Amino acid sequence: MEKATFAGGCFWCMVKPFDQFEGIEKVVSGYSGGHVENPTYEQVKTGTTGHLEVVEITFDPAVFSYEKLLDIYWQQIDPTDNEGQFQDRGEQYKPAIFVHNERQRQIAEQSRADLDASGRYKKPVNTEILDAAPFYTAEDYHQDYYKTNAEHYAEDRAQSGRDEFLEEVWQAEKAK
């Protein structure tokens, strides 16, 4: 098993896209990249701990490749916006890829370069690729939020503007 760690704004919206494939063992909401040990949601949401909201994905690379994870990741975010994602603004919501080894770094860098060269976005793809940092699991009520609080999740997602943006950017891809 390997781990992949992605930041893409509110972690509630980052679980479901990955949580449905054979070869993905689990998707956990949490925090990474900051300077406070064992941060709480209340601390992270202030933007003062340096942490990003992330999902940590445990996967079997023989069944589901890191490249496929990246393909899904790019289709969940605005990779040109390093000041947050959609309605969630601030350092703690910026997109980033935390790599766990040199192979992941090389794949992520190539994937980012390919996406930037694709011309899909009017602005440069500037999502950071960072070394994996300590991961702290978020509080229980954040885990599998799309399942445990389906109504609130749907309302929050609808208000965020995420789906409209993603539909516009990726609609040609979905038509294929």
Active-site positions read 10
- Residue 6: is it exposed, middle or buried by C-beta count within 10 angstroms (0-12/13-18/19+)? buried
Contact indicator for 96, 55 with CB cutoff of 8 Å:
no
Helices (H), the chain: 12-15, 41-44, 66-74, 102-117, 145-148, 150-160, 162-175
Strand partners, 78: none
Strand partners, 29: 55
Question: Would you state the structure tokens that stand for residue 39, as one six-digit string?
Answer: 């941060």
Strand partners, 2: 59
Indicate the residue type of 174: K
Count of residues in the chain = 176
Contact indicator for 91, 69 with CB cutoff of 8 Å:
no
